[in-house]
Amino acid sequence: MRLTPMRTALPLACALFLWSAFAGCEGAAEPSRVTLPLRADASGLSPAESDLGYAVEITEAKLSVADFTFATPGELHTRWLRLTSVARAHPGHYEGGSVIGELRGRFVVDFMASEGTLGTATMLVGTYASANFRFETAEDDAAPPLAGHTALLRGRASRDDASVTFTFVVDAPAMRELVGAPFEATLTETSGGALGFRLLSYDPRSDATLFDGIDFFALDADEAGEIIVDPTSEGAASEAYFELRRRLLAHDFYDVRHLPEE
């Protein structure tokens, strides 16, 4: 029996449809989503004692960042829907997994401000393990001295009944991403509340503080009781700058928490 083109095409199309349906079954149903506000959370910035014995109190902490993404545990490589992409990273405790949540845009995060949200994150229902974002340079219209830089930290360091105030202004390398900040949460369609983004003055996992290795008094060469360290600093101040920058660029000193509705 000779087949007409139509008679040949029909079963072929059916077969291809069935095959593609089975092959692509992991993306066959769109997962449920939930939207949650992401806000700065100051609870990680409590006073901490550094390895050099300074009691460090942060009074101002601002950070210019962009494009938060939130990922599942493990080294998954499943490509989901439009929202998702595969996170690929160097090995680390919280790295890897598939991105199933996001909040795009540029933000200046004022950690000490108790009000306001950065935006509304769109999250697929599921279990999360990590958060990622990109460091940015604050626009010129940001309040100085943050304008044109990535981070501003102000505070007071005290030891042996003496103290200095400090200002650190830090630049991140261009397009520098932070990968693998802890974000351990399971979100359902009914999850409410908010996501809290924290900068941590103390990392309990490594028992290290943000200002470890920085000898504040040694930086106060003129004994004026005030030190200012920025990307143009030289000598010991430059070493302190890079010491702090290394930690500010590390996932140990950030996390994201799900804050259920009160």
218 sits near other proteins (criterion: CB under 8 A): no
In terms of Cβ atoms closer than 10 Å to its own Cβ (0-12, 13-18, 19+), residue 210 is: buried
Nearer to other proteins by C-beta: 174 or 224?
174
Question: In the Cβ-directed half-sphere of 242, how many Cα atoms lie within 13 Å?
Answer: 6
Q: Which of 45, 118, 121, 249 binds other proteins (CB under 8 A)?
A: 249
Q: Which two tokens stand for residue 68?
A: 């938060």
Measured from the CB atom, the residue of 104 and 205 that comes closer to other proteins is 205
What letters, b where the CB count within 10 A reaches 16 and e where it falls short, cover 99-134? Answer: bbbbbeeebbbbbeeeeebbeebbbbbbebbbbbbb
Confirm or reject binding of residue 29 to other proteins (CB under 8 A): no
43 scored as a contact of other proteins (CB under 8 A): no
Q: Please identify, among the stretches 49-57, 120-128, 136-144, 169-177, the one whose residues bind other proteins according to the rule CB under 8 A.
A: 169-177
Question: Residue 210: which of 198, 219, 218, 221 has the closest Cα?
Answer: 198
Interface characters, 58-87, with other proteins (x: CB under 8 A): -----------------x-x----------
Select the span of 49-57, 65-73, 117-125, 244-252 touching other proteins (CB under 8 A).
244-252
25 binding other proteins? (CB under 8 A) = no
Q: Specify the stretch interacting with other proteins by CB under 8 A; choose among 6-14, 34-42, 50-58, 104-112.
A: 6-14
Measured CA distances, 240 to 171, 219, 247 (Å) = 13, 8, 11
Of positions 145, 236, 239, 259, contacts other proteins by CB under 8 A: 239
How far apart CA 42 and CA 200 sit, in angstroms, is 9
Count, residues near other proteins per rule CB under 8 A = 43
Distance between the two ends of the chain, CA-based, in angstroms? 73
Interface contacts to other proteins, rule CB under 8 A: 1, 3, 7-8, 10-12, 14-16, 18-19, 75, 77, 88-93, 95-96, 173, 175-180, 203, 206, 208, 213, 239, 242-243, 246-247, 249-253
